[in-house]
Structures are given as C-alpha cells and as structure tokens.
C-alpha cells in the first residue's frame, strides 16, 4: 500500500527554471516530511525536511510548501541547474525515528 | 570520513547461495535500518534496530535476517538467494527522536 503518492514521475526543466514536485499522503499521524536527492550509484541524501507546524521552509534554492488540511506537500527548486539533475524522493514518517515511507520518485533533468 | 558505510558495494551471486552485507555508522546514532530499492527505484523499509533491538520488521521473507552486534553495526544476512532478491540494499541510521536520516551508498545485489 503506497502511503505517499508522488508526481510527476519525470520532469524536464530548462536551466534557470523552477522545478516543482508534488506529494500527497493519507496517514494523519505522519509528522515529519523530508525530501531526498539521489544521484546514480549513490544513496539518498537528505535535502530539506519540514514538520507540519509550519507551512513553508526554505533552504537556499530549495523550498518545501506544506498544506496540512489538504495533506499535500511540494518541493520547489528555484533557478534549477544541470547539477540538480537527479531523482527526488518525498517521504513521510511519524517522526524521524520511525520508518520513512517514500514516494516513487521523480527523475529531474535540467537542460542547459 | 564515511558516515554510513556498507560492504560490499557490488555482489553477484548464484541462486541458492547465502550472502551477507555489512553496515557500520560512525555518527553515534542509535537507530539503524535496512531499505530495499527495486528496479523501479522504489525504496521500502525492511528492518529497523534501536540500540540493538529490532523495532520494525516489515513483511520480508524469513530468508532475510538482520543482526546488530552493537548499535554502530547492522548486518543483513540472506539465505537461499532468489532471482527476485536482486536489488540495491541501503543501510541507514538516525537518531531515534530527531532528524537526520543518513543513508549509505548501497549494495547492488545481483542474483544469477
């Protein structure tokens, strides 16, 4: 049973553009929502995370928007760069000490 | 200084064999995990250990047995390997209460 649904499956953005990836969840017990970036042959690396007591968190070019009532959250990558080309995963857990429930991933390609 | 290290990075073996994957973390985390990433890149929790005690055991065949000799190590032993076991296996660690899941670089297991 897929607890976190992620879209789109793939995304092509021009350099300098905004990349937007969306996720939705059902379990209202989730209270930790991280995003991971994975390059080929590497493990997922934590990019940014949010808890449901805030609606937005920004770190550099990366922003998480969180809508608790809609049970949705999204990742925005501003000024996308070719080096951002990777697979991005959203996840959710009851707190970070529990298992992460991952979305199916979004393959992002940023073209020069 | 690698935070979560797994060995081996690649493992090619025949059906029916028994193999082990080792994981060590030097972050001082007290919770460690095994995740499986399938050919479609979907990441799913297999096991979680907190201070050497098993706390999550998802629906995984009995052929998979985790062993945690101390809180810095979590090994995965797989008996009677099957073709369907081919995947990338990731070890991860975190603090039980806080943030900061950290993944290893993965072990690509190929069963022939």
CB contacts < 8 A (A, B) = 63
In this predicted model, what pLDDT tens digit does every residue of B23-56 receive, in sequence order?
999 999 988 999 999 999 999 999 888 877 887 7
In this predicted model, what pLDDT tens digit does every residue of B79-88 receive, in sequence order?
999 999 999 9
Nearest chain B residue to A90 by CA distance is: B43
CA distance linking residue A111 with residue B49, whole number of Å: 41
pLDDT of residue B59: 78
Distance from CA of B17 to the nearest CA of A (A): 25
Which chain B residues are within 8 Å of A45, Cβ to Cβ? Answer: 103
In the predicted structure, residue B98 carries a pLDDT above the cut 60: no
Please indicate if any CB of chain A lies within 8 Å of the CB of B25.
no
Mean pLDDT, residues B72-79 taken together: 96
Q: Which residues lie below 8 Å from residue B73, measured CB to CB, with a gap of 6+?
A: B22, B23, B24, B25, B32
Residue closest to A93 by CA, chosen among A27, A44, A36: A27
pLDDT of residue B97: 59
In the predicted structure, residue B78 carries a pLDDT above the cut 60: yes
| SS3 call for B17 | coil
Two tokens at A7?
Answer: 């879209």
DSSP state of A80: -
CA distance linking residue B110 with residue B10, whole number of Å: 8
Residues of chain A where predicted confidence (pLDDT) is lower than 50: none
CA distance linking residue A19 with residue B56, whole number of Å: 35
CB A62 within 8 A of CB A79: no
Which chain A residues are within 8 Å of B104, Cβ to Cβ? Answer: 43
Nearest chain A residue to B42 by CA distance is: A104
CB B111 within 8 A of CB B83: yes
A15 Cα distance to chain centroid = 19
Distance from CA of A32 to the nearest CA of B (A): 9
Average pLDDT, chain B: 91
Distance from CA of A45 to the nearest CA of B (A): 7
Nearest chain B residue to A49 by CA distance is: B99
């Amino acid at each position: 049973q897929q607890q976190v649904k992620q879209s789109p499956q793939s995304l092509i953005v021009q350099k300098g553009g905004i990349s937007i990836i969306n996720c939705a969840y059902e379990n209202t017990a989730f209270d930790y929502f991280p995003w991971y970036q994975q390059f080929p042959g590497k493990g997922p690396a934590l990019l940014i995370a949010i808890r449901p007591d805030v609606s937005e968190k920004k770190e550099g070019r990366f922003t998480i928007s969180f809508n608790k009532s809609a049970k949705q959250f999204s990742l925005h990558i501003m000024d996308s760069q070719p080096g951002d080309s990777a697979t991005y995963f959203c996840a959710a857990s009851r707190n970070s000490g529990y298992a992460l429930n991952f979305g199916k991933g979004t393959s992002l390609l940023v073209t020069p | 200084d690698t935070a979560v290290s797994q060995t081996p990075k690649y493992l090619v073996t025949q059906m029916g064999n028994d193999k082990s994957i080792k994981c060590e973390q030097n972050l001082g985390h007290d919770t460690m995990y095994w995740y499986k990433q399938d050919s479609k890149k979907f990441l799913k929790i297999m096991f979680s250990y907190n201070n050497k005690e098993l706390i999550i055991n998802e629906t995984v065949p009995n052929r998979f047995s985790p062993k945690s000799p101390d809180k810095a190590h979590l090994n995965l032993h797989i008996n009677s390997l099957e073709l369907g076991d081919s995947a990338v296996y990731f070890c991860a660690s975190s603090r039980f209460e806080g943030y900061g899941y950290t993944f290893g670089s993965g072990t690509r297991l190929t069963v022939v």
